[in-house]
Amino acid sequence: MSGDKRCRHCDTWLLDDAVYCHSCGFKVREWDQAQSEKGELEQPSTIVETVKAFMSLIRRTPLQVAPSATVFLERQPRSMLVYAASAVVLLFVGLGISYGGDWLTYIGFTVAGYAVPLIVLAYIVRSDVYEREPIVIVAYCFGWGAFSGLLAGVLNSVITEPFLGAGGAGLIEEPLKIWGVYQIAKSARMKNEFNDHLDGIIYGAAAGAGFAGLENFWYISEMVLNNAYPALFAIAIRSITGVMHISWSAIAGRSLGVAKATRGKIRRSDMLPGILIAAGIHFLWNTLSTDIAFFLILPFTLSGLRNMIAAAVDDEKRWGFEFFAPDEKE
């Protein structure tokens, strides 16, 4: 027998006075009461959200508000072939236009440039213990990251180099990387797949990994072919920088996910806090001495990435994801 509302978890039609969902057991009345008491959240200022984003790097801090009902919504089963095809096209267009056939001629450098970013990305994806993200959408964000590297190369040459200097690269690269993640989060087809800040971290990290691999090819080939550094040293140095790109994009992605988890919807302005933090760390990485970058900025950023992931997993556990996480099949 159907009613006038649906279960927030499994989308089953319910009677108006239902206490539990008869299909999945979700606590319908308890959830409705919590949302009624919570009401519409006031939009925090960008400054406040930026400070919170920075503090999330320093300590493992849970979100201080009840989650929006949207964190439990399930993506409706639909073909994702268009995203799979787009992932491949974006990756190869990024590599092909950036480097012509060189990325195939020196395929070893290409593989080396992507190896560590892919390993780190796999670790981050597997941190989502309650609701794994579809590999196709992760791949799409990865492909977007590579394509954004192509765009960044153009914009850096006409804006960053003549006007901003090396420190300004983050102001170009960080918004470009996260833009593809924002499009997924707002997509009518995929927005229910983008549930919270852990999802934002994962998709942001995927975009950062795609960008890092494309950029790594240029640096590794330049270092090795010009006899500046031995191949293994060049690969090691660029792999570390690749992990930084992953972390910066994960920071920006988290901001989108926090907005989704707390308000149930995302605005363009929700990208800004994470972008500001990511671009700021990027600026320090590019401008400070090598010793400070590797022995201060690097461990701080990696520790921050770990804290963000751990706090997001803790939040999902508190919200009951062990039992009520969206259950979607690819």
What average pLDDT does the segment 264-283 reach? Answer: 96
Q: Where are the domains of the chain?
A: 1-39, 46-324
What's the pLDDT band for 49 if we cut at 50, 70, 90? very high
Q: What is the pLDDT of residues 160-184, one digit of tens each?
A: 999 999 899 999 999 999 999 999 9
Confidence at residue 26, expressed as pLDDT on a 0 to 100 scale: 72
- pLDDT of 3 strictly over 60: no
Q: Which residues of 34-49 are buried (b: 16+ CB within 10 A; e: fewer)?
A: eeeeeeeeeebeeeeb
- Contact predicate 200/256, CB 8 Å: yes
Q: Percentage of the chain surpassing pLDDT 90?
A: 75
Greater model confidence, 27 or 289: 289
Q: Which has the higher per-residue pLDDT, 322 or 95?
A: 95
Query: Quick check: 122 pLDDT over 80?
Result: yes
User: What pLDDT digit, counting tens, does each position of 234-273 carry?
Assistant: 999 999 999 999 999 999 999 999 999 999 999 999 999 9
pLDDT for residue 154 is more than 90: yes
Please report which confidence band the pLDDT of residue 15 belongs to, taking 50, 70 and 90 as the band edges: confident
Number of other CB atoms surrounding residue 32 within 10 Å: 15
Measured CA to CA, the distance from residue 150 to residue 31 in angstroms comes to 45
Mean pLDDT of the 112-136 span: 97
Q: How far apart are CA 246 and CA 312, in angstroms?
A: 17
Average pLDDT on 271-292 reads 97
Q: Confidence band (pLDDT; 50, 70, 90) for 2?
A: very low
AA letter at 179: W
Q: What is the mean pLDDT of the chain?
A: 91
Place 98 in a pLDDT band, splitting at 50, 70 and 90.
Answer: very high
Lowest mean pLDDT among 77-81, 89-93, 255-259, 291-295: 77-81
**In which element (H, E) is residue 14 found?**
strand 13-14
Confidence of residue 229 (pLDDT cuts 50, 70, 90): very high
Residue type for position 125: V
Whether pLDDT at 81 is above 50: yes
d(CA 174, CA 99): 22
Q: Which residues contact 144 (CB under 8 A, 6 or more apart)?
A: 90, 177, 179, 180, 181, 207, 210
Mean pLDDT of 109-124: 98
Please give the C-alpha separations between residue 176 and each of 17, 82, 141, 184, 328, in angstroms, as whole numbers: 47, 21, 12, 14, 29
Does the pLDDT at position 36 exceed 70?
Answer: no
Cβ-proximal residues to 194 (8 Å cutoff; 6+ apart), any chain: 184, 185, 200, 203, 256, 257, 260, 266
According to the model, what pLDDT value does residue 1 have?
41
